[in-house]
Amino acid sequence: MDFTANYDMFLGEEHEMLRQTVRSFAEKTVAPHIREWDRSGAKADDGPETREYIRPVLKQMGELGLLGICMPQKYGGAGMDYLALAVVCEELERVDSFLRVVMSVHTGLNSMTLFQWGSEEQKQKYLVPQAKGEKLAAYCLTEPNSGTDAGAMHATARREGDSYILNGEKTWISLADVADNFLVFAKTDPSKGNRGISCFIVERTMAGVSSHPLHGKLGVRAGNTGAVVLQDVRVPVANRLGEEGEGFKIAMAAIDNGRYTVAAGTTGLIQASLEASVRYAKERQTFGVAIGEHQLVKRMISHMVRKLDTSRLLVYRAGWMKNQGRRNTRETTLAKWHATVSSFESADDAIQIHGAYGYSDEYPVERYLRNARGAIIYEGTRELQELLQADFALGYRDNKPLRKELPAYDPEEWGG
């Protein structure tokens, strides 16, 4: 069965061609090595020097146009729409989550934020090389003592003439050790709370920027995650993104895009769990028949089918709204909540179907479970998504447009 069929109300032929290209890349380049890479990432002494595979893989993603898939060609991108971004994330995470995390951080959180909020000068200097894959980018919001409560950050940015002096530490930063550029959020006026936060484009080569890897992760072991430290980093005023004090609004807009990529990617993880379960259920026999004949196994597989379709439809609705240039915080939040929880439940059922073998990394389903668990936390916890949906329903929050909405997709202008 083709689990990606019958979505032509959202997708066109170009999306299906893209799907096959990304699937071929992920299956040929990453799938044969991912168990080894995942194992190496579990080592306590692992660091960027032991991950020689990361940059070549990211280089190939850039050459395929994936890192700028939904950026206009005039900014170095592939000129495709936001639904194309969802397709890319699905297919990458179908093989391993670390691939999709690259899209979430580099494209969703950083490049799309530059596209939405950046000046033309900033777009030419930073967005163009990022969309081409010539530079890698990361997003620095979380700190050791501030996660969901982003307004509790301690990082500061003090104005000195034509520069800001940044100090602080960011943690749980994907691509911390390999990114060239960072979007960094810091308080320019601590007395104003969330309204005193500003956003800055920081280059790794700026004096005072350093990073180090985090060890012992439960999942996404093949990818790089670390801390970024800022010690008296002098950043030009020209590198401030948006207005001073607008950083919190920019951060939340960026997270909308990040959540969209997470929702799309974990939809691909649901599909991976389903495919592995169907394959095993047809091969494994107990009591003289394939285990797929047993009703309780059928029940788990049918639940995966339901979760895959509902997750994908929610993601594609959010992508369609992005294409129209419409605010989609409610829809994206719902997609992220549903898809991430569904991916964990599907991976858990996949392990159950595999039995004892599912508990071993000889089969991929245990890796799916470990990877899926993180997505329920990052880009906004499961509990936060629940509260947001309740607030929208109760009228405590609105879905009104921002000062700068993500640009609507225009095939003629974008060159796709």
**Residue from 379, 383, 386, 405 carrying the catalytic annotation:** 379
Dist. CA 83–CA 37, nearest whole Å: 29
Q: Which residues contact 97 (CB under 8 A, 6 or more apart)?
A: 219, 220, 223, 265, 269, 371, 372, 374, 375
Q: Which residues of 331-340 are buried (b: 16+ CB within 10 A; e: fewer)?
A: bbbbbbbbbb
How many Å apart are CA 382 and CA 375, to the nearest integer?
9
Task: Please state, in angstroms and as integers, the Cα–Cα distance from residue 317 to each residue in 14, 83, 160, 331, following that order.
Answer: 18, 9, 45, 8
Rounded Cα gap, residues 329 and 111, in angstroms:
18
User: How is residue 81 written in tokens?
Assistant: 């729409």
Active site residue 379: yes
* Phi and psi, residue 70, nearest 5°: -110, 30
Residues labelled catalytic: 379
